[in-house]
Amino acid sequence: MDFSLNGRSILVTGGTGSFGQAFVRLLVEHHNPSRVLVYSRDELKQFEMARNLNHPAVEFMIGDVRDAERVRRAVRGIDLVVHAAALKQVPTAEQNPMETIKTNVLGAENIVNACLDSDVSRVIVLSTDKAVNPVNLYGATKLCSDKLFVAANMLAGPGGTKFSVVRYGNVIGSRGSVIPFFKERAKTGKLPITDKRMTRFWITLDQGVTFVARCLGIMEGGEIFIPKLPSMKMVDLARAMGPDCEIEIIGIRPGEKLDEVMVPRDEARNTLEFPDFYIIQPDFLNGTRTKASYGGAELRHVSEGFEYRSDTNEVWMTVEDFKHIVS
């Protein structure tokens, strides 16, 4: 029988963020959860979200993932946890390293411990392509978070809480992304690009929340789920956002990469390929899971030395594709 979100009590940390709000809306519009608890620090965002959503199953709780006791209280009676709370801005993380570590690493550990102690059924955490071969603190903290959640499956033991990770690229439509920045700068007639060669993976907010819900249904514990996404050159993104603007090359900023990787070469030996996504299996499984583990879905092991990179991707988003998405 397929796993269902209907009748479940679900906690969403960072629930007033772009992803959190979209995911909660998906839950109440397309599923029938018994309870959805939105956990976040911002009372104004909670007030506005409650006013706009106004659904009887949705509850709100002020709290910080840094606060272990508050997190323990939040997970009581919860079946599923979607952990989306994080400090995500690369420059902010570089300038405030300990604050980022407290939220992204110690906060992740608080979620793990609370879920283990409360016998939560399934936990899934949002990660980023920047966690692969990280060159900035944000990516390094998300790599630590990924490791904490994968290893938590060994603490849970057979039949215990399942923990998995979803890793994807830049989100079209999220707050704090480059797109609203470009929209504002386009009014000046100039758009800054760090390097003409730079590429990124792109996913829409709707695709992201749908993929997370799907992974909640098929996860067995310990996986890193990676959707197959199109790449786009940042210079093409600028042309799409401001076709009449001058492109200004400003140089790569500290902590920035030319390209992003979602499946590194060293993890190819543990990577399964499905028609529209990849799964990196944890080392402690020794690659023992097969298609039977995921409902008989068609899959194959990727070749030795495989990498999933934004610059060598087989699928590319054109300027017209992007305009169609954001129109």
pLDDT tens string 117-126: 999 999 999 9
pLDDT at 298: 72
pLDDT surpassing 80 at residue 321: yes
Mean pLDDT confidence for 270-276: 93
Task: Give the confidence band of 174 by pLDDT, cuts at 50, 70, 90.
Answer: confident
pLDDT at 255: 80
CATH class for the domain made up of 9-171+202-228+265-306: alpha beta
Task: Give the confidence band of 286 by pLDDT, cuts at 50, 70, 90.
Answer: low
Q: What is the pTM of this model?
A: 0.94
pLDDT at 205: 94
Give tens-digit pLDDT for 215-252. 999 999 999 999 999 999 999 999 888 888 999 898 88
Mean pLDDT confidence for 241-267: 90
Q: What is the mean pLDDT of the chain?
A: 93
Sign, CA dihedral 180-184-189-191, equals negative
pLDDT surpassing 50 at residue 167: yes
pLDDT at 20: 97
Cβ-contact 240, 183 below 8 angstroms: no
Nearest to 14 by CA among 39, 50, 33: 39
**3-class SS of residue 86:** coil
The pairing of beta strand 231-233 with beta strand 277-280: unpaired
- Angle formed by the axes of helices 68-75 and 107-117, nearest 10°: 40
pLDDT at 242: 87
Give tens-digit pLDDT for 110-143. 999 999 999 999 999 999 999 999 999 999 999 9
Mean pLDDT confidence for 312-326: 91
d(CA 258, CA 327): 27
pLDDT surpassing 90 at residue 198: yes
pLDDT surpassing 90 at residue 289: no
Active-site residue numbers?
Answer: 130
Mean pLDDT confidence for 62-91: 97
pLDDT surpassing 50 at residue 207: yes
251: left (phi over 0), alpha (psi -120 to 50) or beta: left
pLDDT surpassing 50 at residue 1: no
